[in-house]
Amino acid sequence: MMMGLYVVPSLKAKGTLIGEAESWAASIGAVFVPRRGQTVEQLRRRYGTEHLLIYTSRGPVIERDEGKHFFSLNMAELRIQQLRKGKPDHLLEAFGADRPVSVLDATCGFGADAIVASFGLPAGSAVTALEAVPQMAAVTGWGFSHFVHETCDVTQALRRITLYNENYRTYLANCQKPYDIIYFDPMFSQPVQASCQFQPVRAIMDHEELTMESLERAMYISKRVVVKGRYLQPLLQVFPSARIMGGRYSRVRYAVLEGKIHG
């Protein structure tokens, strides 16, 4: 449930879309607000930019001065196309799964990695995703549960992902369930400044560094921990046994750490 969010239909929304917006707001625990001709600026002043979602024919939209953000497959689309051609995906290689596995994507964000994992992992795998920011969790969660892709297998991959609006630090501290793989992509602690898709949401995202405490907890309740990053040297100093994987010419690397659970 995502308390503290307000869902408002787009200005030109008709009955069907308004009903869809109201139903979806109720399903996530948000408050539905009739539009009544109000401008986005008026709505922001009343409900707060960080709490407002505009429901459109594309689903919920985060609308800020920096731009708009709505759900799309982003880079997952290209990566899935490559998988269809039989080409490897570096994240899936880092996961190293040759049988069904349980995966926790602790830093879901736009959801691209969770989508690729759900699509590309062995049949029967389960992907759980965490997103701490309520607005982002609402948009990405809508995509997982409502977006319909032109191919059925991608839509099915979306539906197999379970997303929770929760901070991974709290989740890991209270987690009693073991995972085969826990994955971290602390993208906003090492932001790509030139990336346009991040601009509308950069201000509201979680910018905290991934701590050794969180890593150690993840290793305690999983068989494998995978960390995405451009600068993994500090991690290697603490965990010298970590394996670094990734494309030869890619700036992105994955640190693979073996967890405490074996089997």
pTM reported for the whole predicted model: 0.91
Question: What percentage of the chain's residues is helix, strand, coil (to nearest 5)?
Answer: 40, 20, 40
Tally of structural domains, the chain:
2
Whether 50 and 179 map to the same domain: the answer is no
Beta-bridged to residue 244, according to DSSP, are 255
Whether 144 and 39 map to the same domain: the answer is no
Whether 69 maps to a domain, the answer reads: no
Whether 35 and 87 map to the same domain: the answer is no
Structure tokens at 41: 């600026």
| Residue ranges making up the domain that contains 145 | 75-258
Whether 66 maps to a domain, the answer reads: no
Whether 113 and 227 map to the same domain: the answer is yes
Whether 229 and 147 map to the same domain: the answer is yes
Q: Where are the alpha helices (DSSP H) in 202-260?
A: 212-220, 233-238
Whether 31 and 87 map to the same domain: the answer is no
Angle of helix 112-120 relative to helix 152-159, nearest 10 degrees? 110
Whether 106 and 229 map to the same domain: the answer is yes
Cα separation, 104 vs 179, in Å, equals: 7
Domain at 141, CATH number: 3.40.50.150
Whether 17 and 140 map to the same domain: the answer is no
Q: What is the pLDDT along the chain (263 residues), one digit of tens a residue?
A: 666 899 999 999 999 999 999 999 999 999 999 999 999 999 999 999 999 999 999 999 999 888 899 999 989 999 999 999 999 999 999 999 999 999 999 999 999 999 999 999 999 999 999 999 999 999 999 999 999 999 999 999 999 999 999 999 999 999 989 999 999 998 644 444 444 555 566 555 655 788 889 999 999 999 999 999 877 888 888 888 899 998 777 778 999 999 987 65
28, 91, 177 from 171: Cα distances, Å: 19, 23, 11
Whether 147 maps to a domain, the answer reads: yes
Q: Which of these, 147, 150, 133, lies nearest to 187 by C-alpha position?
A: 133
